[in-house]
Amino acid sequence: VIDPGHGGNKPGAVSVRKRYEKDLNLSISLKLRDKLEDLGYNIIMTRDTDVDIDLYERARIANDIDADLFISIHGNSHTNSVHKGVQVLYCPATKSSIKEVDQYPFAKAMMDALLAGTGAVDKGIIQRPNLVVLRETKMPAVLVETGFISNPEEEQLLFTEEYQDIIVDSLIKGIENYLEMN
């Protein structure tokens, strides 16, 4: 399941050039869907248009179809525009009543591939058990912060087709590396 963060009347962060995080998330997610489907993966999107989907509904979609993996795509933001880089968030299995396997290996596979593919700054693999889409999904789940839209240089890069393709290719490499291990 691919989950483009935010949407509809919940735009997420607003970039330094007044672009919406929800649009970045959807653009990257649709590219990821298309490339994964071309590789033979069965992909379900929590949204494929500019609509707001409830957080618990996002998790329910993945759980109801017994998805193998859940990937939520986001753009990061900070009040200090100097921050840049990628982050991968996850919920430790011990912090969720429904998690069935250790979540860290998936988060690490995704981060390693993102760092190798993009050359972005490593902002860490972060435990976030309070995030609904990570805590309430049964399968391995990550929330990928693709970069800081509050940083002028990174924001400009994130909204280019070329860099989005690099992110997508990196995410696919992370997925494949994880699936090979398990």
What pLDDT score does 182 carry?
87
- pLDDT higher than 90, residue 100: no
The number of CA neighbours under 13 Å toward the Cβ of 19 is 21
Residue 72 confidence class, pLDDT cut points 50, 70, 90? very high
φ/ψ of 79, rounded to 5, equals -65, -25
Q: β-strand 2-4 against 141-148: which pairing, if any? A: unpaired
pTM value? 0.98
| pLDDT, tens digit (0-9, with 9 covering 90-100), for 149-160 | 999 999 999 999
Burial 147-166 (b: 16+ CB within 10 A, else e): bbbbbeebbebbbeeebbeb
DSSP class per residue in 115-158: HHHH---EEEEEE-TT-HHHHS-SS-EEEEEEEETTSHHHHHHH
User: Mean pLDDT, to the nearest integer, of 54-65?
Assistant: 98
Residues whose CB falls within 8 Å of the CB of residue 38, separated by 6 or more in sequence, listed in order? none
CA 44 to chain centre: 14
Is the pLDDT at 51 greater than 90, yes or no? Answer: yes
Q: How far is CA 82 from CA 63, 85, 149, 153, 155, in A?
A: 38, 10, 11, 10, 12
Q: From the centroid of its chain, how far is CA 56?
A: 16
Mean per-residue pLDDT for 4-29? Answer: 98
Burial status of residue 105 (CB atoms within 10 A of its CB: 0-12, 13-18, 19 or more): middle
